Chain A
Amino acid sequence: MIMVNLGSDEIIKYPFLDEAGKYLSDKGFSLEDFATNADLNKIVENAFERIITAVDGRIYKSELASNNSSTNEIFSFLIAVILLKLTGMNTLTRRFSLAEARRAEKFLEKDLKNQQDPRNAKLSLQILQELFSVTIQKEDEYFIIPISDYLSHSVNFHEREWKLINRKVLHGQVQLTSHETVRLVRKELDRYIFSKINSSSSPQMIQGFEPYVTKLKSLAKKFEVKTVESTEYPPCVKHAIEVLEKGENLAHSGRFLLATFLLNKGQTVEQIAPLFKNAPDYNEKVTLYQLNQLSGTSGTTQYKCPSCEKVKSQDLCFPIPACDPIINPIQFGRKRV
């Protein structure tokens, strides 16, 4: 729980904080009131709009002006959550939490920059510290955070600019702009909002909410994704097979890649084992033991195919244009239809 006494302006910015739920109960409204009261019904419409905006990939605009609109705005978030729970379609909740995260991100960045206002500054630093365990200090126009805090978030990014080598690093700290600081927690912010929505209890259907829920359900169907997959192997796997076919030595990491790739594609240990027959140090017993370990038959873990980044770092990646959109060899040749 954030230990700052939040006013409605702060709750508007960060309606996913626990304080927002409290706000609803403090105002003394029940969910039924929103369906029956004409004034409150407008809020349900706003909530619906808020979801539609998010689903369209846009960010819901805030009105921080009047007292009345701030109440509407907080409620529209809370009612949107209720509508999503009633709809029960994960794809909508995912899009909604991402858009809400992007929205909050903007406020967070502004508050972080605006260190003259101690209340906002404290809140933004506290959100980053308490929700995402990032300790931040301001240094000139930059923000510095401990490398270990930085890494625990940045490792989830695939863009090379987030690699530690591409950051200004000094005395155990990483230097970031306010934009980068907030960008660092985007995924977690999204995940945080998503899990808050997911873990909140599902209400019974409320009369008056039904038409919105029906519309949302049909909207969600549009996002069902079908994929087709080609049977061609990615170049890194082809390379590994070629090396073995030539009887050359394939590094342990290459063998791991080949075996986990094929196992994940559904091949059996018996189907894969003969591939290693040409290896200079081939030993049938050892090969079968290791394949069984990787497949999880002898242990408890089934090993996953290493990521493209890992494969690249092991000098086993030979990318072709078809590799551009993938982050794991297993995704090679997968297309949406």
Chain B
Amino acid sequence: MPELLAQPRWAEAAQALIGGCLDLGPRQEGAIALMETVCNGLGDQLYPAFLRVLAEVNLRGEYAARAAVAQTLAQSLCQGRLPSGSRAAWGAHQAGVQRRSLGPIEYLCLAAWPRAGESRGTSELSPEQFQTLASAVMELLDCDAEARTLYAGHLCAVADDPLDGTMPREVRAALRAFAQSWRSHPDASRACAAFIESLGRAGR
């Protein structure tokens, strides 16, 4: 199992991801496969490191660099190959539980607002950390209008999936409003803040 370096070189990793997407062609099969290969190489345990790399791209990348990664994410979504991490779908305390593959934003959402049975009901991210990470990933996707529209639609589908046992009911409702807000207005920070506030009102 890979282990995170003592001092991960986040910016270097982000530059390598940007370079790879550009060299292989944003929206092309190669760039999609690159993201999949990176996530497979990290494994589920280190999937959050991939999210950190996406955040680095957004925070430090020039516009064309961010757009190349956003376009690759959009095409990944079109093909149902969004780079994903997995979490327990139901009852993580039970042996042999089913696992659910989750894209970056819904993964962060469940890390911050897990089901009562998952992680013993304690969140792994604070609302502030969720805001930082989710906003960064969403702002990255905002670099490509299609990416935002597609991902917002994807989040709505996740929220509306009646068979998905991953997401608490109140989080599902808030996620739907969150996605609709983001789809209407490319303002990630505002959408995240409203999402956090609505969950706070719901007692989460």
B is a partner of A: no
